[in-house]
Amino acid sequence: TALNDRGQVRYLQVEFAAAVRDFTAAIECQPGFEVPYYNRGLVRYRLGDFDEAMKDFRKVLELNPQFEDAALSLKQAMLDKEEKQKRGY
């Protein structure tokens, strides 16, 4: 929980690489805790790494199918990836 919380602080400070490291460390400590996967997915989404963000959101839903924000974020990442591909980025 502490690593996830520190990742949140770093995310808010726009220290994305450090936030991803903290969320990943939180996942390694407690692989069944869905929140760090969701938070890491949000950072990856914001960085435009839609494939990795979608993996994280899918893992959240595997762990907790009722996590509505993860389902919405997954859908948005899929749409944005498709749009990015259409534009040739």
Q: Which is nearest to 34 in space by CA: 8, 58, 53?
A: 58
pLDDT of residue 40: 98
* φ and ψ of 50, to 5 deg: -65, -35
- The mean per-residue pLDDT over the stretch 9-14 comes to 96
DSSP reduced 3-state for 67: coil
pLDDT digits (tens, 9 = 90+) for 30-45: 999 999 999 999 999 9
Domains assigned to the chain: 3-88 (1.25.40.10)
Instruction: Tell me the per-residue pLDDT of 13-28, one tens digit each, with 9 for 90 and over.
Output: 999 999 999 999 999 9
What does pTM read for this prediction? 0.94
